[in-house]
């Protein structure tokens, strides 16, 4: 049985609007999204296991004549793209796409932290505007039922993120908000 719902965000910093569709399947989740950033359109797809571990993702700028870039995380924690192993991403479970708050929801949902708990994770950080992908250390701390502190490590960025009752980002101060 498939269930799906949509989430919309706007990003005042980049003047972006995102339309995101989350589909629940028997064995996991698929996310399909499109972000309008000025005259450009960015698209991404993420597949997650039932526990929100990222299995694979793909992305592209729709206005570019380039194929989607596809990445797969294997059960042993290794990553490949177009059949080639990407050693520097080994061990990363989550992804963080700079253009969307959806990817902050993935570790929040996966980790299921109790209030007061904090955990450091390594993510695949995707900066599509600069065509960069690299591992990055981050920390999530659950402050109350609906608030999380997000930090990059070393701590050069910090934000308190508000989520809904399902763990999806409602507000990411100065960057994204639901509408």
d(CA 46, CA 25): 13
Domains of the chain, residue spans: 3-178
Strands (E), 12-146: 16-25, 28-37, 40-49, 54-61, 69-73, 79-81, 84-85, 94-97, 118-127, 132-144
User: Tens digit of pLDDT for each residue in 27-42?
Assistant: 999 999 999 998 899 9
pLDDT at 66 over 80: no
Report pTM. Answer: 0.93
User: Tens digit of pLDDT for each residue in 90-147?
Assistant: 999 999 999 999 999 999 999 999 999 999 999 999 998 888 999 999 999 999 999 9
Alpha helices in the chain (DSSP H): 102-111
| Cα distances (angstroms) measured from residue 68 to each of 115, 122, 150 | 38, 24, 29
Higher pLDDT pick, 155 / 27: 27
């Amino acid at each position: 049985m498939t269930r799906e719902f949509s989430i919309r965000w706007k990003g005042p910093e980049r003047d972006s609007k995102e339309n995101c569709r989350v589909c629940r399947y028997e064995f996991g989740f698929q996310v399909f999204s499109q972000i309008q950033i000025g005259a450009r359109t960015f698209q991404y797809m993420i597949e997650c296991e039932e526990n929100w571990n990222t299995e694979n993702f793909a992305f592209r700028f729709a206005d570019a004549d380039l194929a989607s870039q596809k990445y797969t995380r294997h059960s042993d924690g290794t990553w490949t793209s177009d059949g080639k192993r990407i050693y520097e991403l080994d061990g990363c479970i989550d992804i963080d796409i700079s253009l969307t708050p959806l990817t902050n929801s993935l570790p929040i949902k996966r980790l299921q932290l109790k209030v007061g708990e904090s955990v450091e994770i390594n993510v695949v950080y995707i900066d599509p505007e600069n065509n960069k992908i690299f591992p990055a250390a981050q920390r999530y701390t659950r402050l109350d039922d609906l608030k999380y502190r997000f930090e990059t490590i070393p701590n050069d960025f910090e934000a308190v993120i508000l989520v809904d009752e399902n763990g999806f980002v409602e507000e990411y101060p100065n960057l994204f908000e639901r509408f």
